[in-house]
Structure formats: structure tokens, C-alpha cells
């Protein structure tokens, strides 16, 4: 029989290997500590969802030593929705998070003690996604169609605003409420005509599984644009360890720039890191679509993650108008700009 001591030693070694490789997982977390090699600080980051192409820079940044260069020993953890990630960061279950801005603002309004420290996806990926052979090429073609939605998420909540801006009556489009996995299944089995979600996430997955091309009716195409995913930090960490926040933002910005230059190499670093991981070709398409979302007119040519105050003001106004937050408060209610990347 294997002794208890030997079992404990084996488990400890396995745990160390997982932390060093920064594999995505959703287990218990250690708070930020200085226990890393060469004075690195061990930091956990929870994603907004199970890993997909958008997250390639984190894995690439770990493998290329970018986070290490900035003094961070990064552990990447899978998420189960932005709201859960925001709440996990606010309650101290993880050190930092990667979450959708509408969920961040809504939870701050509810008292969760976090703030955005930099939005990286600055053009919303929210869109209506249909098969290319569906005959739907404009918002007007959605009349009489049934679209899968997920009640409460930002793309669904903003859908009536999208239809209004596109000149389509909300009553002309049928919706069916399903969970995220159910939406994809419903499209694949032709039970609905399309779904609402992130174009750079579900679309490539459906195209790969169905062998059919997708068409995206993007919210941004009708002028409806607002911030999407980015880094969040607990208020306590922003106050007590602003240098750590600055290092993480700088490393993430550098990792995004590096992954944008070599997308194939970036997505390869994700392969096999999580049982929920899409196939490499899907990851690549997801990441390529992500790179088109990193800037607005106000930040074109700037470092990834650098935010413009005008974009924050616009996002807050739109989300308040749609009822996702109660009122349009000043940007510094939700965003701490002290760690903004250079350039």
C-alpha cells in the first residue's frame, strides 16, 4: 500500500506543476503572495468563461515569459460567466478577473468591491449570428425569425436597443430563452434561426461543428457600441498594492500585442490546457476575430488596454439607457485609471 506521506508528496508536486504551467482550472485559489521564483508574486486570474480564443494572450504571455518579466507568476482559472467572476474577485476567491464590462458595472452598483483597471475588448462582439445560407443579411431580414437568447446577459438586454437602432420592431422578432450551451445546440439542430452572443466565441464554434459559414449582424454596425471584456481588481488591492495592479495591466497589454503579431503561435500555447478547450482551428479564428475588437477610434494605434474617457462615458450612458445599470455615474465609479499601459 502507498503511504499517506507519499500520497501527500505526490499531490503537492502535482499542485506545483499546475501553478507553474498556468493551466485553466476552476478550483480553490491562493491569494496573491510573494512565493514565486526570483521574487515573483503568485497571482490568480479568473476568466469570464471556459478558455477560448480571446484568452490566447494570457497563455502566450505565460509561455513567453512576459508575465514573469513583470514579476508575476500567473495562474489562469476558467470562469463560468462574467457575473460569477466579478463576485469571485470581490469576495477574495481569486486575485484578479477578466470580465464583461456590463456585468462589472452592474455588480459594482450592487455593492461588489471591484473596479475595472483596463478594458481590452473595446468594440462589443455582441451580434445576431445566423447561418450564411439563412437568407438573413440585414436586420430587416430578422422579421419572423426565432432567435435564441439568454435572459439577463448584456447582448440579450441590449437586443431591443439594437433592433430600434436598426429600424426593426421588437415584436417582429421571436426570441427563445436558453442557456449558453443550449443556444448553440438549438442553432446546430435548426430549432432556431440564430442566436445572440459574442461573434468571436459561438460563431466559429458553430461553423466548425456544422461545416457551414456564419453571418454576423453586429450591434456595432448600427452604431451600438460599448466596452466588453477587460481586467478587474478588488478595491483593496488597488488601494494597498497599486504596483501589482500596474504590473499585471502592463504584462497583459504586452501579451496582447505579442499575440496579435503571431496568432498561430499564441493559440498553440492553449492546446490541451483545459478539457473544455475548442479545437486549434477554432481557437485561431476566435483570436483573429478578437484582434478586430481591441480599439475604438479614440484608441487606434495605442497600446492594448489603454482606455479613453470618452469611450467610458459612452458605455456608461448606453448601459444606463438600456437599464443594465440604474443611472449614468462618473467613470471613476467603475474604472481606476492609475494602472493604464504606456503608449
Look up the CATH number of the domain holding residue 149: 3.40.190.10
Q: What is the pLDDT of residues 142-162, one digit of tens each?
A: 999 999 999 888 899 999 999
For range 80-85, the mean pLDDT: 94
* Co-location of 239 and 315 in the same domain: yes
pLDDT at 13: 34
Q: Distance (Å, rounded) from C-alpha 126 to C-alpha 131? A: 16
Cell of 235: 478595491
Selection from 342, 313, 289 nearest residue 121 by Cα: 289
- Contact between 53 and 283 (Cβ < 8 Å): yes
For range 301-316, the mean pLDDT: 98
pLDDT at 339: 98
Angle, CA 16 vertex, CA 13 and CA 20 arms, to 5°: 140
For range 278-304, the mean pLDDT: 97
Helix axes 309-321, 101-109, angle to 10 degrees: 70
Q: What is the pLDDT of residues 109-128, one digit of tens each?
A: 999 999 999 999 999 999 99
Give residue 215's domain range: 126-222
| Predicted confidence band of residue 6 (pLDDT cuts 50, 70, 90) | very low
* Co-location of 28 and 99 in the same domain: yes
Residue 40 confidence (pLDDT) above 60 = yes
Q: Distance (Å, rounded) from C-alpha 278 to C-alpha 271? A: 9
pLDDT at 142: 98
* Co-location of 160 and 253 in the same domain: no
Average pLDDT for the chain: 90
pLDDT at 39: 78
- Contact between 113 and 235 (Cβ < 8 Å): yes
Is 307 in a helix, a strand, or coil? coil
* Co-location of 213 and 247 in the same domain: no
Residue 284 confidence (pLDDT) above 90 = yes
- Kindly state whether residue 240 falls inside one of the protein's structural domains: yes
- Kindly state whether residue 91 falls inside one of the protein's structural domains: yes
* Co-location of 186 and 254 in the same domain: no
- Kindly state whether residue 254 falls inside one of the protein's structural domains: yes
Amino acid at each position: 500500500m502507498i503511504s499517506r506521506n507519499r500520497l501527500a508528496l505526490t499531490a503537492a508536486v502535482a499542485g506545483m506543476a499546475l501553478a507553474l504551467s498556468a493551466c485553466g482550472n476552476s478550483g480553490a485559489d491562493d491569494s496573491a503572495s510573494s512565493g514565486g521564483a526570483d521574487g515573483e508574486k503568485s497571482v490568480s486570474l479568473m476568466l469570464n468563461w471556459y478558455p477560448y480564443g480571446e484568452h490566447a494572450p494570457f497563455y502566450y504571455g505565460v509561455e513567453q515569459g512576459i508575465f514573469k518579466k513583470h514579476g508575476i507568476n500567473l495562474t489562469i482559472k476558467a470562469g463560468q460567466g462574467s457575473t460569477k467572476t466579478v463576485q469571485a474577485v470581490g469576495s477574495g476567491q481569486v486575485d484578479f478577473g477578466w470580465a464583461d464590462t456590463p456585468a462589472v458595472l452592474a455588480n459594482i452598483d450592487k455593492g461588489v468591491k471591484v473596479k475595472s483597471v483596463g478594458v481590452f475588448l473595446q468594440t462589443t462582439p455582441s451580434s445576431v449570428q445566423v447561418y450564411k445560407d439563412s437568407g438573413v443579411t440585414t436586420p430587416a431580414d430578422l422579421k419572423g425569425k426565432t432567435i435564441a437568447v439568454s435572459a439577463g446577459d448584456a447582448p440579450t438586454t441590449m437586443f431591443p436597443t439594437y433592433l430600434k437602432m436598426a429600424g426593426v420592431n421588437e415584436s417582429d422578432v421571436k426570441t427563445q430563452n436558453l442557456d449558453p450551451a443550449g443556444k448553440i445546440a438549438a442553432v446546430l439542430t435548426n430549432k432556431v434561426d440564430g442566436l445572440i452572443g459574442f461573434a468571436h466565441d459561438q460563431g466559429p464554434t458553430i461553423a466548425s461543428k456544422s461545416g457551414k459559414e456564419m453571418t454576423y449582424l453586429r450591434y456595432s454596425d448600427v452604431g451600438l457600441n460599448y466596452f466588453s471584456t477587460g481586467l478587474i481588481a478588488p478595491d483593496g488591492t488597488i488601494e494597498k498594492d497599486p504596483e501589482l495592479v500596474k504590473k499585471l495591466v502592463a504584462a497583459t497589454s504586452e501579451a496582447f500585442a505579442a499575440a496579435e503579431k503571431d496568432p498561430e503561435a499564441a493559440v498553440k500555447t492553449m492546446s490541451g490546457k483545459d478539457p473544455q478547450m475548442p479545437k486549434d482551428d477554432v481557437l485561431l479564428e476566435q483570436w483573429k476575430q478578437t484582434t478586430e475588437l481591441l480599439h475604438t477610434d479614440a484608441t487606434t494605434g495605442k497600446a492594448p488596454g489603454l482606455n479613453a474617457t470618452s469611450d467610458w462615458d459612452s458605455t456608461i450612458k448606453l448601459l444606463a439607457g438600456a437599464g443594465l445599470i440604474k443611472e449614468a455615474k462618473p467613470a471613476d465609479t467603475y474604472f481606476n485609471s492609475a494602472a493604464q499601459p504606456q503608449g
